[in-house]
Amino acid sequence: MSDLEAPLRPKRKKIWVDYFVQFRWILVIFVVLPISFTLYFLTYLGDVRSEWKSFKTRQKEHDANVEKVVKRLKQRNPSKDGLVCTARKPWIAVGMRNVDYKRARHFEVDLSAFRNVLNIDKERMVARVEPLVNMGQITRVTVPMNLALAVVAELDDLTVGGLINGYGIEGSSHKYGLFSDTVVAFEIVLADGSLVRATKDNEYSDLFYAIPWSQGTLGLLVAAEIKLIPIKEYMKLTYKPGCWHPERYAQHMLILLLPEMGT
């Protein structure tokens, strides 16, 4: 029997899921979008409020918040309270990471207050920021100074902490490396409540190299010092079309980049 002669499959009776899928646009337009806009707007207002504060006020708040984190960790009983993790809700994260560990026994530490740009050091060309500072927030602070992070992720909502503990990469990474490669120092609160500053050449250098990609498993990041670069209002681009052999292309890129890298 040919396919044309085969009996037609009887129509399935529609259930509520079918109507939900068919008219999902109503839910998206009148429920999801308003909620999304409200959350984004409230976050933006919080960022603007932070920018209005002086650097001195932000540092004072930072010290007080770090003290709260230290105090919270010292209350933990390792044999009863389980693993340490942040109190950030899984649905807030930008990514598909499995967060089942937050459904098990764990010890939460609230880091929601760590969202300030603490200092812009023009002499050292370093920005000291808290982990929940996002790319849009730090860009609004640095660009008027003709400065920018060496690696700026293109999504405004991506946070410094996420790009460090996760995998931060962008177009300028071919020159400056991953986002974590542009970090000069990490300020970490360890599980025992001790606050340490890790750099590549101090006593915590092993921690400095281990923090990137660690997904927050080695300690709670409370601040980071990140490399800045000078920028101008406009940039010049040179477009050179051509289908080159990979070796020739690599050689050409080296000629372009090595002089800028000082070699």
Q: Give the residue-averaged pLDDT of 28-56.
A: 89
3-state class of 177 per DSSP? Answer: coil
Structure tokens at 215: 């997904």
* Residue 40, pLDDT score: 85
* Residue 114, pLDDT score: 95
Return the exposure string of 170-201: e unless at least 16 CB atoms fall within 10 Å of the residue's CB, then b. bebbeeeebbbebbbbbbbbbeeeebeebeee
- What pairs with residue 133 in β-bridges? none
pLDDT category, 258, cuts 50, 70, 90? low
Structure tokens at 116: 């300030």
Distance CA 86, CA 67 (A): 16
Return the minimum-mean-pLDDT range out of 1-15, 22-36, 146-160.
1-15
Q: Give the residue-averaged pLDDT of 134-144.
A: 92
- What pairs with residue 148 in β-bridges? 229
Structure tokens at 130: 């808290």
How does strand 220-230 pair with strand 183-189?
A: antiparallel
pLDDT category, 207, cuts 50, 70, 90? very high
- The C-alpha angle with vertex 197 and arms to 202 and 227, in degrees rounded to 5, equals 90
DSSP H or E run through 51: helix 33-52
Q: In this predicted model, what pLDDT tens digit does every residue of 150-195 receive, in sequence order?
A: 999 888 889 999 999 988 888 888 888 999 999 999 999 998 899 9
- Per DSSP, the chain holds a count of helices (H) and strands (E) of 10, 8
Mean pLDDT taken over the chain = 86
The residue among 103 and 131 whose pLDDT is bigger is: 131
* Residue 262, pLDDT score: 45
Q: What is the pTM of this model?
A: 0.78
Interhelix angle 33-52/135-142, nearest 10 degrees = 40
Return the minimum-mean-pLDDT range out of 106-115, 137-146, 184-193, 247-256.
247-256
